[in-house]
Chain A
Amino acid sequence: MARGHHDIGGLPGAGPIDQTEHQLSDWEILADAVNQALGARGVKRTDEMRRAREEMDSEVYRDLAYYERWIASIETILIEKKILTKEEIDRKLAEFETKWGEP
C-alpha cells in the first residue's frame, strides 16, 4: 500500500491553490444535481463517492476534472448496485454521440 492519489496534503511541488471563482458549466451543475438526487433517494452516500474516487486508476484520476471525477464515481456506484449496467450507460452515450456529435 502507499498513500492514495487523493491524499496529497503536504506533498511538495503542488504550487499555490487557484482560488479564483469560475462560472459553472451546465454539465457541472447537472452532475451536482444527479449527485444530490441520488443522495436524497438513499442510493449512495458521500463516503461511497469518495471511496469510488480513491479506487480509480491514478492516472485517470489525475486527468479528470473535479466534476468528471464525480460523474465517474456515480457511474461506478450505479453499476456496483446493479441499478445500471456498463452496457446500458455505453449504449446511451453512443446515442447521444450520434445525436449531438462527439463532445
Chain B
Amino acid sequence: MGRAVSSSSGKFKPGDRVRVRTDDRPGHIRTPWYIRGKTGWIERMYGEFLNPESLGHGGDGLPKRILYLVAFNQTDVWGATQAPRDKVLVDIYEHWLDPAA
C-alpha cells in the first residue's frame, strides 16, 4: 500500500504546527468532521499512499498523497475535558493540512 518517502519530500516535518482544512464537499473523505478547523502538530510522516478520495469513486488513486500522524491537545478539540493532558491522534493527508502559527 504505502511507500516510505524521505522526510524531505513532505511539506511538513515532525513538530510543525498545522491547521486542518475546513473543506465541506461531497465525496469520500477520510478527514473526520470533528477535527476540521483544529490546530495541532505533526507527530510523524507515514509515507505516501494512493488517494482514498479517488479510490472511493473507482479512480486510480493517483497522484499519491502523503499521510501524517497529527496530534492535537484534547482541550483544543473538545474544550474542557477530564483528561486535559491527553492528545488526540489522527491520520490526515497532506492536502488537508495548512501551515499554522
Q: Interface-forming stretch among B7-15, B21-29, B62-70, B93-101?
A: B21-29
Pick from B25, B28, B33, B34: contact of A51, CB below 8 A.
B28
Q: Nearest A residue to B77 by beta-carbon distance?
A: A10
- Dominant secondary structure of chain A at its interface with chain B: loop
- The reply to whether A1 and B26 contact each other, CB–CB distance below 8 Å, is yes
Interface residue A22 (Cβ < 8 Å from any Cβ of B) = no
Asked if A103 lies at the interface with its beta carbon under 8 angstroms from chain B, I say no
Chain B interface mostly helix, strand, loop or mixed? loop
Contact of B52 among A3, A10, A47 (CB under 8 A): A47
B interface bracket (residues with beta carbon within 8 Å of A) = 10 to 19
Do residues B55 and A48 form an inter-chain contact, with CB atoms below 8 A? yes
Cβ of B2 < 8 Å from any Cβ of A? no
B residues less than 8 Å from A16 (CB atoms): none
Give A1-48 interface residues, CB cut-off 8 Å to B.
1-4, 7, 9-10, 45, 47-48
Q: Which of A64-103 contact B (CB under 8 A)?
A: 80-81
Name A11's closest neighbour in chain B (CB-CB). B34
Q: Give chain B's interface residues, CB within 8 Å of chain A.
A: 24-28, 32-34, 52, 55-58, 77-78
